[in-house]
Amino acid sequence: MDLGSGGPGPGYRRGDDMSARLSRLDLARVAVWNLFLQASYDTGRRQALGIAAAMASIRHVWPTSGDRRAFLLRHLEPMNTNPAMAGPLLGAMARLEERAAAGDAEALARVSHMRRVLEGPLAATGDAIFWAGLRPLAGLAGAIAAWQGGALGPIGFAIVYNAIHLTVRLGGVFWGYTKAERIHELMRARWVTLLRFAVRWGIPLAGLCLVVLAASIDAFPRWTVAPAAVAGVFLGSRSVVRGGLLAGGAIMVGLILALVFFKSVP
């Protein structure tokens, strides 16, 4: 993954950099628009409109109308990545646009190159961390908290997930701006490794806790939890049946058992 050295290329003049420098407010605008990244998600251009809408906040780095037009069209190119990981990418692209506007000849080519090279790896990392990692882990932990403390569960779930999600999605714009081409370091960051470890072992442990909690309630059908969990893990790991359909089957079986046994239940 060659993204260059991270420094400015030939033709880059230090004085020009000062005149076109982006303020924190500009980056904050990019970060806020990043929250609406997928408003117009489309199967063809994916998140292109969202990226263009966010990057438009820094169009003033380009001096002429023609440059700004080219800038907008450049960011309407198809792109698809994890929405949270788009933050660092937007920040890095803003930095490169700033350099390009200041005369760095290579920066412009690097913008498109970085999008192409990093959108996939960032999407894979983001999906693994947020969608397939933090969300189910926080969901199971939230379910345990809800089991014991009611409203604590959903509130804790939302706080834990968003503390990390919003830090990366909003703060990532500022971080990406400082790192520029070196944002790929994010995928090897220590917190990412730690989070992956926590997810790998946290999900099964939280799942076992929930099975134990559910199997210990004072109700006749409590023995059904463990076999159903085993069926869920095996069918899930082989992607045989969708969760909704599997749950639909469990509802039917449970309903039939309830109607058969309901006279013996106090």
Partner 1 sequence: MSLDAGTWALLLALGLWTALDQSACLQLLVSQPLVASWLAGWIAGDPLCGLAVGVLLQGVWSRALPLGASPLPFLGPASVVGGALAACAPGPRLGLGPVLAVPEAVPLAIALWMSIVVGELGRPLLLRIYRHRGGLIATAMTAAEENQVSRVRVAHLLGLVPTGLLGLGLVVVGLAAGTFLLRMTPTLHADGRWVALPVLGIGVGQACSLSMKRRAWIWGAAALVLGIAVAMT
Site residues for partner 1, 78-137, by CB under 8 A, read 80, 83-84, 123, 127, 131-133, 135-136
Q: Is 63 in the site for partner 1 (CB under 8 A)?
A: no
263 strand-pairing partners: none
Q: Is 148 in the site for partner 1 (CB under 8 A)?
A: yes
Q: Is 237 in the site for partner 1 (CB under 8 A)?
A: yes
- Residue 6 or 149: the one with the smaller Cβ distance to partner 1 is 149
Residue from the set 27, 30, 46, 88 that interacts with partner 1 by CB under 8 A? 46
Q: Residues binding partner 1: what is the number (CB under 8 A)?
A: 107
Q: At what angle do helices 225-237 and 190-215 cross, to 10 degrees?
A: 140
Contacts of partner 1 in 244-263 (CB under 8 A) = 244, 246-248, 250-255, 257-259, 261-262
Residue from the set 11, 161, 164, 167 that interacts with partner 1 by CB under 8 A? 161
Residue from the set 53, 92, 93, 100 that interacts with partner 1 by CB under 8 A? 53
Give the whole-angstrom CA distance, residue 27 versus residue 171.
10
What is the smallest separation between the CB atom of 229 and partner 1, expressed in angstroms? Answer: 4
Q: Is 32 in the site for partner 1 (CB under 8 A)?
A: no
- Residue 34 or 92: the one with the smaller Cβ distance to partner 1 is 34
- The answer to whether the CB of 176 falls within 8 A of the CB of 90 is yes
Distance of CA 263 to the CA centre of its chain: 49
- Residue 105 or 247: the one with the smaller Cβ distance to partner 1 is 247
Q: Is 28 in the site for partner 1 (CB under 8 A)?
A: no
Question: Residue 10's closest CA among 99, 81, 82?
Answer: 99
Burial tier of 83 (Cβ tally within 10 Å: 0-12, 13-18, 19+) = buried
Contacts of partner 1 in 201-220 (CB under 8 A) = 201-204, 207-208, 210-220
What is the smallest separation between the CB atom of 179 and partner 1, expressed in angstroms? Answer: 23
A 10 A CB-CB count for 20 gives: 18
Three-state SS for 175? Answer: helix
* 240 half-sphere exposure, CB direction, 13 A CA radius: 9
Residue from the set 150, 185, 191, 194 that interacts with partner 1 by CB under 8 A? 150
- Residue 6 or 254: the one with the smaller Cβ distance to partner 1 is 254
Burial tier of 67 (Cβ tally within 10 Å: 0-12, 13-18, 19+) = middle
What is the smallest separation between the CB atom of 169 and partner 1, expressed in angstroms? Answer: 8
Three-state SS for 148? Answer: helix
- The answer to whether the CB of 58 falls within 8 A of the CB of 97 is yes
